[in-house]
């Protein structure tokens, strides 16, 4: 079927508009658009039918009639070959895709996926619903997802869920084990005796407590401050991993064996792990002693301080220096 001249003119205009739009997209950083020969052919060939229909549908009947007829049907302009592009900057990679871990530990699934079984045999954890795989959730979204959690038996005895506190964009995150009585009562991590020591440690490093982010492996108090059990860690761990993904710190300090072993999926004793830089999903991780242990064994504070000094060195901080 031959085209009415005015239709052909309209198509030329549509195609020109489209071509300009594509060029603008490219100049403006829309590097995902690939105007290649195939698309150009589509525009000139099969795609014309669709464009024609769209152009006709969008145009009031009267304006079609008002268009002056061109002398001859205009050929549709071919899409100009694109200038060679600079390579697109690498998109922000999900944490799980970052540099491999320095230590010979297993790779792990991204945060929002069901977790692989960690070093200790644990039942498989479910996914973290509501947190889209590959996306970076916010702490608020994660907290909402946690809700009035009843995913493990720790919910029976808790007063408050202790989610985490501090700067949601902190460069430094401290991860503890689980809330004690004071934390359970207040819903805030590390506010009891161990917390007061942790606050001193943070301040000695040149930070205020509010500068850093603090959270725990499990968010509910284990009865009588017993150790969290494997199924409890498994239930809570996706939320910890999501928190770390949300904050994206430069350094994580793992306080004590539970934090270090859970994050690193490594059953090595904390006495051996402490003081040695590790990597958690591309983030530097320093295992050190838990403040509660340091309260019981004050002679070990020196070692913990050495560990924290390594962190300070990484950030170029002097003791007591703020900012």
Chain residues binding ligand URA by CB under 6 A are 162, 176-180, 183, 189-190, 192, 194-195, 216, 292
Burial string for 209-246 (b: 16+ CB within 10 Å, else e) reads: bebbbbbbbbbbbbeeeeebbbebbbbbbbbbbbbbbb
Residue closer to ligand URA by CB (options 101, 237) is 237
Asked if 161 and 149 touch (Cβ cutoff 8 Å), the reply is yes
Closest contact distance (angstroms) between CB of 156 and ligand URA is 19
DSSP assignment of 87-126, as one string? PPPPPPPPGGGSSPPSSS------TTSPPPP-SS--PPPP
Residue closer to ligand URA by CB (options 192, 238) is 192
Residue 111 has a CB neighbour count (10 Å cut-off) of 28
Residue closer to ligand URA by CB (options 110, 179) is 179
Ramachandran class of 119: left when φ > 0, alpha when ψ lies in -120 to 50, beta otherwise: alpha
Closest contact distance (angstroms) between CB of 189 and ligand URA is 4
Which residue number has the CB closest to ligand URA?
A: 176
CA separation for the pair 254, 238 (Å, rounded): 16
Residue closer to ligand URA by CB (options 96, 198) is 198
Asked if 308 and 250 touch (Cβ cutoff 8 Å), the reply is no
Residue closer to ligand URA by CB (options 183, 281) is 183
CA angle 296, 194, 199 (to 5 degrees): 130
Closest contact distance (angstroms) between CB of 258 and ligand URA is 7
Closest contact distance (angstroms) between CB of 89 and ligand URA is 39
Closest contact distance (angstroms) between CB of 179 and ligand URA is 5
CA separation for the pair 74, 8 (Å, rounded): 6
Closest contact distance (angstroms) between CB of 218 and ligand URA is 9
Residue closer to ligand URA by CB (options 8, 167) is 167
Closest contact distance (angstroms) between CB of 209 and ligand URA is 13
Residue closer to ligand URA by CB (options 110, 192) is 192
Q: Which of 216, 131, 222 is nearest to 177 (CA)?
A: 216
């Amino acid at each position: 079927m031959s085209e009415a001249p005015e239709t052909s003119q309209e198509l030329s205009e549509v195609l020109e508009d489209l071509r300009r739009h594509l060029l603008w997209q490219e100049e403006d950083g829309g590097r995902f658009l690939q105007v290649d020969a195939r698309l150009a052919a589509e525009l000139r060939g099969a795609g014309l039918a669709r464009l024609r229909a769209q152009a006709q549908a969008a145009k009031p009947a009267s304006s079609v009639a008002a268009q002056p007829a061109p002398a001859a049907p205009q050929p549709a302009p071919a899409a100009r070959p694109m200038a060679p592009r600079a390579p697109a900057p690498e998109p922000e990679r999900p944490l799980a895709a970052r540099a491999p871990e320095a230590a010979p530990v297993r790779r792990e699934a991204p945060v929002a996926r069901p977790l692989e079984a960690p070093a200790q045999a644990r039942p498989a954890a479910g996914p973290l619903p509501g947190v889209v795989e590959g996306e970076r959730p916010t702490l608020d979204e994660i907290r909402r997802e946690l809700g009035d959690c009843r995913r493990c038996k720790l919910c029976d005895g808790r007063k408050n869920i202790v989610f985490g506190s501090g700067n949601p964009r902190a460069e430094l995150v401290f991860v503890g084990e689980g809330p004690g009585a004071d934390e359970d009562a207040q819903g805030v991590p590390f506010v009891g005796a161990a917390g007061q020591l942790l606050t001193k440690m943070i301040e000695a490093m040149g930070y205020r407590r509010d500068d850093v982010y603090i959270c725990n492996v499990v968010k509910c108090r284990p009865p009588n401050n017993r150790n969290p059990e494997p199924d409890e860690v498994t239930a809570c761990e996706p939320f910890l991993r999501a928190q770390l993904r949300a904050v994206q710190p430069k350094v994580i300090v793992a306080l004590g064996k539970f934090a270090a072993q859970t994050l690193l999926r490594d059953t090595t004793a904390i006495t051996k792990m402490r003081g040695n830089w590790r990597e958690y999903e591309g983030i530097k991780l320093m295992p050190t002693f838990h403040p509660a242990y340091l309260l019981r064994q004050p002679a070990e504070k020196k070692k913990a301080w050495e560990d924290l000094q390594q962190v300070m060195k990484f950030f170029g901080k002097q003791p007591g220096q703020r900012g």
